[in-house]
A = this chain, B = another copy of it.
Amino acid sequence: MPRDLSVFGGTANLPLAEAIARALGVRLGARVVERFPDGEVEVRLEEGVRGHHVYLVQPTTPPVNDNLVELLLLADACRRAAAERVIAIVPYFGYARSDRRHGSRAAVGARVVADLMEAVGVAEVITLDLHTPQVEGFFRVPVDGLSALPLLADAARERLTSDAVVVAPDAGRVKMATAYAQWLRTPLVVLHKRRDSSTRTSVTHLVGDVRGKQCLVIDDLISTGGTIADSARALHDAGARPGVLVAATHALMLGDAAEKMRRAGVSCVLTTDTIACRAPDDGFVHTVSVAGMVAAAIRED
C-alpha cells in the first residue's frame, strides 16, 4: 500500500467508494462535483494530493457519458495538483462491449475510452469482469482485472442442487461459463442465437442437455434483462427444472429488467455492488460486495 494514498469517489457509486476507503482504513477524500445548468461538470479537490497515489472510484454506469467525463475531469484535477499517480477504479467499465468495430466504419468505443483516460494521465486502472478480457490490452497502462466469479460462484453453490448445469447465454460467454462450470464441477450448456434466413428472426439454439436439470445462467452484465429472460424461456422450453438461477457481476437492471426476468421464470439473481444499487435487496436480487476485493488489490499487490 503506497505511503501517500488518497481515495476519492465520483458521484456514480459513492457507497462503494466509501466501502473501499473503509476497507483500506482511510477517510474518503473531500471533493466538490458541480453540475451547471448547461450540464457542464466542474470538479475541485478539497485536499492536497501532491505526491500522492490517488485512487478515483467511478464506475461508468448510466448516465455513462456524464460519469466518464466526470472521471476524466477528476483525473485532470489530480494531475494538475501534482499527484504522483492517478489510478482509476472503474468497477463497471462502460463501453466495454464496444470492443471491436461492428461493421467496417464504426468506432471501437472501449479503445476510445482507454485513450481518453490515458490522455488525461490515468496511470493505472482497476476493474472487474470486463466484457472481454482483451480490453486490458487497449491500455498502455497497467490494468488490474479482478473477477467476482469466486464470490458469485460461492454464493451460487449454496443454492445449487447436485444436478445443476451452468449455461452460457450466448457464444461470447462460453469461456466464462466453462470457468463457472469448472469451479462448481457441473456440466456446461451453450445457447446461441442464429438468424433464421426465412423468417429473418433470431432463434435461440441450445447445445447440451438440460432436461430436468437446475440451470445457472451466468453473464457479465444484466442490462435490460432481455437476454437472460430469453435464455430462461429457452431452457424451460427444453425441459429444464423450473426456477432458473442467474449470476452476473454487473446489474444495470434498466427499466423493468427484474420483472422481465421474474416473468420468464428466473427465481434469483446473484450480483455485486459494482453498480450503485437501485433497489433494496428483496430476495430476488442478492448482492455481494466487491469492496474487500478491490481494497485487497490496492493493499497487497
Interface residues of A (CB under 8 A from B): 2, 36-51, 61-66, 68-69, 72-74, 76-77, 79-82, 94-95, 97-112, 115-116, 118-121, 124, 132-138, 140, 142-144, 168, 171-172, 174-175, 177-178, 181-182, 185, 187-190, 192, 194-195, 197, 205, 207-208, 223-224, 252, 254-255, 301
Contacts and interface: CB of A to CB of B under 8 A. Distances in A.
What's the number of copies of this chain in the assembled complex?
6
Contacts of A112: 72-73, 76, 120
Of A64, A95, A194, A207, most buried by chain B (CB within 10 Å of CB) is A207
Contacts of A41: 65, 109
Contact of A175 (B97, B102, B171, B181): B171
Contact of A252 (B2, B38, B69): B38
A144 B207 CA distance: 33
Given A105-B44, A115-B119, A171-B175, A37 B100 contact: no
Given A115-B120, A136-B101, A142 B195 contact: no
A105 B49 contact: yes
Given A98-B40, A108-B76, A188 B192 contact: yes
Contact of A171 (B64, B108, B174, B185): B174
A185 B197 CA distance: 10
Contacts of A207: 187-190, 207-208
A107 B171 contact: no
Contacts of A208: 190, 207-208
A120 to B, nearest CB: 6
A101 B4 CA distance: 24
A43 to B, nearest CB: 6
A161 B301 CA distance: 55
Contact of A37 (B37, B190, B223): B223
Given A38-B62, A168-B174, 18 more contacts: A39-B63, A40-B64, A40-B94, A42-B106, A45-B106, A65-B65, A82-B142, A100-B134, A101-B136, A108-B137, A116-B119, A118-B119, A171-B174, A185-B197, A187-B205, A188-B205, A190-B190, A190-B207
9 contacts: A37-B254, A42-B98, A76-B107, A81-B105, A99-B137, A115-B140, A178-B194, A182-B194, A190-B207
A105 B142 contact: no
Q: Across chains A and B, which 5 residue pairs bring their CB atoms closest together, nearest first? A: A134-B134, A119-B119, A45-B105, A76-B107, A111-B137
